[in-house]
Structure 1
Amino acid sequence: MTELDAEQKGMAHAIAVRLWQSRWLLAAGVLAVLIAFAFASVSAYVLVLALFLLLAAAMLPAGGLRQSAEDASAIEAIGLQRLSGEYLAAAVADPLIIFDHAATIVHANAAAFAAFGGIAPGISLPLKFRAPEMQALLDSVLSGTVASDVVDYTEKLPVERAYRVSASSVGHGTDLYVLVFKDQSEARRIDRMRADFIANASHELRTPLASIAGFIETLRGPARNDPAAREQFLQIMQNQTGRMARLIDDLLSLSRLEMKPYLKPGTEVDLRQTVDSVIDSLAPLARENGLVIERDFAKGPLDVPGDRDELFQVFENLLENACKYGQSGGRVLVTIAHADDVSEPGIEVTIRDFGPGIPEEHIPRITERFYRVDVETSRTQKGTGLGLSIVKHILTRHNARLSIKSEVGKGAAFSVYLPAH
């Protein structure tokens, strides 16, 4: 009962305060209503309604919009007071460094420690980042020439990373500044890859086109009436157009693979049947190169989730390469075995040739587009330089792995690991 009385008294006090704060407005309104009642002959009901509305308006807090804005500002101030610069820096995913007017590090977030290492409060930024562009950036911001500035900076060690670095002052009168490093490495890598891809593709297409144009000119001129030369040139032209067709087909395959989402395991693929079909289809090529394809398949079911057509393309590319580039070894061994890894059991398919092998320095780049260990040999074998890139894309879609082992003079082994689930 006491609490209820106190609450009622509080409400009454609040009402009284609001009426007192609005007393002049309320008095003017009552006077206006009385004058209207006296001279306009309005009804008593209208008078009562007007007085009621006037009283309700007086109960509203004066400057309601201003009060709401002040309340919002107060809430914002209280919320920001709970945040420290350290918390805000930690919430930024990019490397961030706060420094003072002497270019000394005050604070660095976890991303900055991971990216640059050896960063701690008290370290001089000009000594940490000695590149001329970083020195110029710090000088321009600290001198007050500009409020903020942006430069491109490349960190060489431990691996090369490209950053877009922005520097700006923090607040007013704090004598603090902030550096934010936006990693551009992946974007630049993709740009370089795109530029290299266009350059390589245009070069690969330009070479046969120039050859065809030259032969056409010869056939229309000196070799017009030479049947033997005409037959020879037409055969070369047919080979060149076939090469361009294979290149375009491989480019389209890569484009289709890049547009597809990652494969969702649904259908089962029988690897025994798939690899057998690949061997049968390439048997004429093996005989032509004087090779024998040997099989060594594990017993029991050899099923994996995946797309049969795409896996057929993978093993066709690998076996075709083994037949073309390993023909001096006289045989190719195709092995399918269970890879009973404790963490992720699966099946491993290995295609091994006994040819000249691949030098070790080429192995990390061999799946890049248009990368060739020996350009002349590849073109002689009608290669486009895209086969292993296609293999890599398909295996990535299947959550599979490709490993390459080779020793010069002893052949090369390409192993495909496919998860069983």
Structure 2
Amino acid sequence: MRSQFVDSLLEAVPHPLLLIGDDARIEAANAPARALFGAEQVGRHYALALRQPGPLAAIEAALREGKEGQAQHVHSGPSRETVYRVQVRPVAGDGRNCVLASLVDVSEAEQISQFRRDFVANVSHELRTPLTALLGIIQTLQGSARDDPAARSRFLAVMAGEAERMNRLVRDLLQLSRVEAEERVRPTARVDLAAVLTGVSESLRPAAEQAGVSIVAEGAAGPTWLRGDADQLAQVFFNLIENAVKYGGGGQVSFSLRSVPHDPALRGPALAVDVTDRGEGIAPEHVPRLTERFYRVDTHRSRTKGGTGLGLAIVKHIVQRHRGRLVIASAPGKGSTFTVILPAE
């Protein structure tokens, strides 16, 4: 017979706890455990609640042999899976041998671990392709093309392109790392956003004209002030306008600066910059993932045009550092609009 003190103690623990008796039935479950497995599990065999092999084996070993153990339990919820680490410990007293199973949510740690694995795999893949090309060319130049000036000139041009591709990747990785390191520190310098946009558009105009795309400025033309980092804001709009020229096109890319009297998400006045292209548009399933590292809608096209797959991830983190938000609207055949909304001064 459990005391009221023991029941109160179980209820005070913030993560799920199951007390399993020597008859293999659940004797008690605190509020988080009842919310996870259902109150009806109390009094039933533990296997009806924890149906996965790992936790079942750990509890059985604790009941039969008095061994401590741990296992992983994955709970499928309505919107996502939650990963729990199940710690199993024998508890004895009053002539009885029971088992206490505690479940700790380790989903975030698992996600971070998976993110690191994916990141290393992606970087390795991105570097392996140009390195393989370079090694192949070097072997050719050392062998059959040793005395062929025309082939040597052609291969050297390819090597320069592959080396520049790796240089862009390393540069963007360093830029992303710096932005993430500074993300918690909000910039305080006073910046004229209109001047930043003018400078960026002028620097991109020659490349746009070469691609047959015109860059059109709309909206406010006078000084428009906010608190920010001028270089990082220039990086944001350089990436967005350059992407629109490279991948959106449609003959014209426009950007506009407008004032928002009150933005509900930012809880105050804001400045919004819309970068719009008239290109092919983006399918809905791709839009939520565009700011993920190395995510590309068209991998071959992106690499051909010199993309690293990190540009929009850099944009997202810079916008977050400025306490703003990025909104993407696109549909196939209707072009795309990338809107950066930043707190006004």
For the criterion TM > 0.5, the same-fold answer is yes
Task: Please state if 1:98 is matched with 2:19.
Answer: yes
Name the CA distance, whole Å, in 2 between partners of 1:400 and 1:355: 26
Indicate the residue corresponding to 2:277 in structure 1: 353
Indicate the residue corresponding to 1:336 in structure 2: 257
* SS of residue matched to 1:94: coil
Indicate the residue corresponding to 1:84 in structure 2: 5
Choose between structure 1 and 2: higher helix proportion. 1
Alpha-carbon offset, residue 117 of structure 1: 5.5
Residues 163/296 of structure 1: CA separation in 2 closer, same or farther (3 Å cut): same
Task: Please state if 1:372 is matched with 2:296.
Answer: yes
Name the CA distance, whole Å, in 1 between partners of 2:70 and 2:189: 52
2:237 to 310, 315, 327: 315
1:96–1:178 Cα contact (<8 Å) kept:
yes
Name the CA distance, whole Å, in 1 between partners of 2:25 and 2:61: 15
Name the CA distance, whole Å, in 2 between partners of 1:409 and 1:268: 39
Percent of aligned positions that are identical: 44
Task: Please state if 1:149 is matched with 2:38.
Answer: no
Indicate the residue corresponding to 1:137 in structure 2: 58
Residue ranges of structure 2 left out of the alignment (5+ in a row): none
Residue ranges of structure 1 left out of the alignment (5+ in a row): 1-80
Task: Please state if 1:215 is matched with 2:137.
Answer: yes
Residues 275/90 of structure 1: CA separation in 2 closer, same or farther (3 Å cut): farther
* SS of residue matched to 1:181: strand
* SS of residue matched to 1:282: helix
Name the CA distance, whole Å, in 2 between partners of 1:179 and 1:414: 49
Choose between structure 1 and 2: higher strand proportion. 2
| 99-108 vs 352-361, which moves further | 99-108
Q: TM-score, normalised by structure 2?
A: 0.88
Residues 155/278 of structure 1: CA separation in 2 closer, same or farther (3 Å cut): same
Q: Aligned runs of 1:10-159 on 2, under 5 Å?
A: 84-113=5-34, 116=36, 118-120=38-40, 122=42, 124=44, 125-143=46-64, 145-158=65-78, 159=80
Indicate the residue corresponding to 1:245 in structure 2: 167
Alpha-carbon offset, residue 246 of structure 1: 0.5
1:105–1:120 Cα contact (<8 Å) kept:
no
Name the CA distance, whole Å, in 1 between partners of 2:222 and 2:17: 57
| 94-103 vs 332-341, which moves further | 94-103
Deviations 1:242-301 (A, max 9, x none): 111101101111222233351234222221111111111111121111111122223665
Deviations 1:162-181 (A, max 9, x none): 22101223452365542211
Q: Aligned runs of 1:214-293 on 2, under 5 Å?
A: 214-260=136-182, 262-293=184-215
The one-letter code sitting in structure 2 at the alignment partner of 1:180 is S
The one-letter code sitting in structure 2 at the alignment partner of 1:151 is A
Name the CA distance, whole Å, in 2 between partners of 1:335 and 1:142: 68
Residues 398/119 of structure 1: CA separation in 2 closer, same or farther (3 Å cut): farther
1:106–1:121 Cα contact (<8 Å) kept:
no
Which protein is bigger by CA-based radius of gyration? 1
| 240-249 vs 156-165, which moves further | 156-165
| 409-418 vs 261-270, which moves further | 261-270
2:194–2:222 Cα contact (<8 Å) kept:
no
Alpha-carbon offset, residue 356 of structure 1: 1.3
Q: CA RMSD in A?
A: 2.4
Q: Aligned runs of 1:167-186 on 2, under 5 Å?
A: 167-173=88-94, 176-186=98-108
Residues 108/299 of structure 1: CA separation in 2 closer, same or farther (3 Å cut): farther
The one-letter code sitting in structure 2 at the alignment partner of 1:149 is G
Residues 221/412 of structure 1: CA separation in 2 closer, same or farther (3 Å cut): same
Name the CA distance, whole Å, in 2 between partners of 1:93 and 1:303: 47
Task: Please state if 1:391 is matched with 2:315.
Answer: yes
Residues 348/215 of structure 1: CA separation in 2 closer, same or farther (3 Å cut): same
Residues 287/113 of structure 1: CA separation in 2 closer, same or farther (3 Å cut): farther
Task: Please state if 1:401 is matched with 2:325.
Answer: yes
Residues 187/232 of structure 1: CA separation in 2 closer, same or farther (3 Å cut): same
RCO (CA 8 Å, sep 6+): is it higher in 1 or 2? 2
Indicate the residue corresponding to 2:336 in structure 1: 412
